[in-house]
Structure 1
Amino acid sequence: MDKINLLVIVTIISLFISLFLAFFLVTVKTKHKISNSLFAIFLLLSAIDNIDPLLSLVVNNPSNLGMLRNTFAFFQIPVFYLYVVSVCYSDFKFKPKYIIHLLPFLIANVILLPRFYIVDLASKISFLKNRQNMIELQFTHILIHIQIVIYFIAVFMILRKAKKLYLENHAGTSVNSYNWLFQFTIVLTILYLITLVKNIFKFSDYPNISEWIKIGLLVFQLVIVCWYLFKALNNPGLFRNIDSKLKLVSDIILEEKNSLPLAINEKEYNEELLKLQQYMIEEKPFLNPSLTIQDISNNIEIPVRDLSLLINHKLEQHFYDFVNTYRIENAMDILKDVTKSKLTILEILYDVGFNSKSSFNTAFKKHTGNTPTTYRKTLQNNTL
């Protein structure tokens, strides 16, 4: 099988799966319509970008429409950026300021206007034949790579902040979803880095290497899409997003230092800490797998801002870890109770407020140094 046939076959398979997943995302019933639609658009833009091997079989001459299709690549990363923002923040809405994301696309097309869009067919053909010497094409390739770097840095910064906000305000297990999205972004970064290498060879004396890398990229992209499809089907409610108006404790402390002393003095700190600990022990709110700092604030009548400073700053624990400590202590009590020896680890983790075995194992090992199974075996051996 020659290189061209292989490229066409891989392209067809990749397009089919991308379009299928895009259709699934826009038709599935979910409250995350905006997020799903944005990722569907990202998949469609990727499909448009990769359809070139099929178009070359039916279209021989360059056209304005064909060049415009190529510049649609400038939309891919901005759309992915907006997708990440939408899954991280529950109050995400489209705003007029997002129009700025169109700027690289507009710049690229304006630059191509004089020597491609408004010239005759012969000039277009000559332009593409001499693409290695055309400053416009070199500039657009440099521009898109700068865009990729800037947007990926922005995405990683958003994910880092969103995860911190989640840990400071929530005690559910959705933090695993942020870890997964972080991994997915790393994989996409690798994909675009390989694309950069491909484009370098495209403008070198070895354009054939660029074509082989293109085949590898299509296969890699196919694997990524299948991976995402598997995740989407198994986790339809993948993210529990947060309010973008929430502030990190570090930012709150900085604001306090720049204005007034910290809201909680030592006496108030001790009183509120005692009130919080008493509430956690007596009421056991940690049994709620979706517990938030707002829930506790409402019940013990301590403002969220003060409660966040108390836990995240004074106790030097994320709210997520603070609540999990009580859950693990409760799990340890159950494991020590001989009358409950027939309970499985899975039953115990649900009983104490976890809804994920991996999260329970991670938290338990962090707190005790052992997995729940090892801890139970050690207890059993000590009683023999």
Structure 2
Amino acid sequence: MNDKINVLLIITVISLFISLLFAFFLVTVKTKYKISNYLFAAFLIITAIDISGPLFELVSDGPSNLGMLRNNLAFLQIPAFYLYVLSVCYSDFKLKLKHLIHLLPFVMANMILMPRFYLVDAASKINFILNRQNMIELQFSHILFHLQTVVYLFAVFMLLRKAKKLYLENNAGTNINSYNWLFQFTSVLSVLYLIVLFKNIFKFSDHPYISEWIKIVILVLELFIICWYLYKALNHPDLFRNIDSKLKLVSDMVLEEKNNEPSSVSEKEYNASLAKLKQYMVEEKPFLNPSLTIQDVAVAIEIPVRDLSLLINHKLEQHFYDFVNTYRIEYAMDILKDVTKSKVTILEILYEVGFNSKSSFNTAFKKYTGDTPTSYRKQL
């Protein structure tokens, strides 16, 4: 038992140190993405408080209002993460009064504990905790917590799905990897919360000691997740580049046209716009800009963004992201075929044609040609 307590304390101290250090770094570092940093710092601080249970129990004399409040802070963890993802996805995100609604589960969990815990004496608090398996308030809190977690995680996945689609329809940068990585991060968090669910089930069962062992697994996983995020953030400081929340999905624009009035743009006008677009892409080579957006192209060829988006994403049935990458890959293929440039490395080529990530270049190249850049060059 002592060995288990020692392991728990060691992991807790390490997790707390890394979480709080990372949170301090996020709050103090100079960046234009302050809101995102503050929200993730809040997520880390809440997580640190949540995992501080073993240390808190060492210094506390028994059940207390502060201890219960510390437990219930877990209700703020997933909402903080949701708001963080929202701020990462949308460049115009701002915290507003309406976001206070995310405090509702936390307030509810504390309100129901008022009569039989917060407002009673120490002896009654001890009795409440000793009989926690039969306390309807705690059972309600656990059900509410897990229900909240499922709803928020579902909302995060839906948010990332929409944001990724908007990015593909409006941007040709290689930062699509940020959405893929956030999806992975959310998936790992989902697994963590699933383990927390099992822990709480055993907590109210006839085998509460299993819950304590699962707690160690959760602490190790939380430490791994925090270190993973820290590694990713430090190695890729420019990973996240968000989009405007006012942008609409092409599918929504098409639906609006069907519901309102027939499109005023004829097939002839679409063909003329397409010819103008292709001429611009070939002659001006805007795809060499790694941060090219559909707005940039629309301004250059004097076509409304909405019409250009419908032309590429709907008429051509191709995301703007893939449309631009097609020109990049064709340009890269021309360089690879040029015998006078046989000394130019693959890395130099990918930067020259508008990519800024080797993985993105290899993925796009293989998608278009069926080969990797290296194997394609060898076949020439």
The letter of the residue matching 2:376 is: Y
Q: Which residue of 1 aligns with 2:330?
A: 329
CA displacement at 1:55 relative to structure 2: 1.1
Query: After superposition, where does 1:175-324 map in structure 2 within 5 Å?
Result: 175-324=176-325
CA displacement at 1:300 relative to structure 2: 0.3
Q: How many residues align?
A: 379
5+ residue gaps, structure 2? none
The letter of the residue matching 1:228 is: Y
Q: Contact between 1:263 and 1:306, CA under 8 Å: does it hold in 2?
A: no
**Cα distance change, pair 65–369 in 1 and its aligned pair in 2 (3 A):** same
Query: What's the RMSD between the two structures over aligned residues?
Result: 0.7
Q: Which residue of 2 aligns with 1:73?
A: 74
Q: Which residue of 2 aligns with 1:127?
A: 128
C-alpha separation between the residues in 2 aligned to 1:272 and 1:242?
A: 25
C-alpha separation between the residues in 2 aligned to 1:28 and 1:100?
A: 29
4+ residue segments displaced more than 3 Å: none
Residue-by-residue CA offset, 1:83-136 (whole Å, 9 max, x unaligned):
000000000001111111111011111110111111111110000000000000
Q: Which residue of 2 aligns with 1:364?
A: 365
Q: Which residue of 1 aligns with 2:119?
A: 118
CA displacement at 1:28 relative to structure 2: 1.2
CA displacement at 1:262 relative to structure 2: 2.4
Q: Secondary structure at the match of 1:262?
A: coil
CA displacement at 1:261 relative to structure 2: 1.2
CA displacement at 1:264 relative to structure 2: 2.5
Q: Secondary structure at the match of 2:112?
A: helix
**Cα distance change, pair 344–228 in 1 and its aligned pair in 2 (3 A):** same
CA displacement at 1:364 relative to structure 2: 0.2
CA displacement at 1:175 relative to structure 2: 0.1
Residue-by-residue CA offset, 1:164-185 (whole Å, 9 max, x unaligned):
0000000000000110011001
Residue-by-residue CA offset, 1:344-370 (whole Å, 9 max, x unaligned):
000111111111100000000000000
Q: Which residue of 2 aligns with 1:83?
A: 84
C-alpha separation between the residues in 1 aligned to 2:265 and 2:276?
A: 14
Larger CA deviation: 303-312 vs 102-111 = 102-111
C-alpha separation between the residues in 1 aligned to 2:19 and 2:207?
A: 30
Q: Contact between 1:253 and 1:262, CA under 8 Å: does it hold in 2?
A: no
TM-score (norm. length: structure 2): 0.99
Q: Which residue of 1 aligns with 2:59?
A: 58
**Cα distance change, pair 170–263 in 1 and its aligned pair in 2 (3 A):** farther
C-alpha separation between the residues in 2 aligned to 1:262 and 1:159?
A: 30
CA displacement at 1:324 relative to structure 2: 0.1
CA displacement at 1:235 relative to structure 2: 1.2
CA displacement at 1:60 relative to structure 2: 2.5
Larger CA deviation: 364-373 vs 26-35 = 26-35
C-alpha separation between the residues in 1 aligned to 2:190 and 2:129?
A: 28
Q: Which residue of 1 aligns with 2:143?
A: 142
Q: Which residue of 1 aligns with 2:96?
A: 95
5+ residue gaps, structure 1? 380-384
Residue-by-residue CA offset, 1:24-76 (whole Å, 9 max, x unaligned):
11111111111011001100001111111011111121111111111111100
Larger CA deviation: 302-311 vs 54-63 = 54-63
Q: Contact between 1:167 and 1:320, CA under 8 Å: does it hold in 2?
A: yes
Larger CA deviation: 262-271 vs 108-117 = 262-271
Q: Which residue of 2 aligns with 1:382?
A: none
Q: Contact between 1:14 and 1:218, CA under 8 Å: does it hold in 2?
A: yes
C-alpha separation between the residues in 1 aligned to 2:132 and 2:223?
A: 29
Q: Which residue of 2 aligns with 1:39?
A: 40
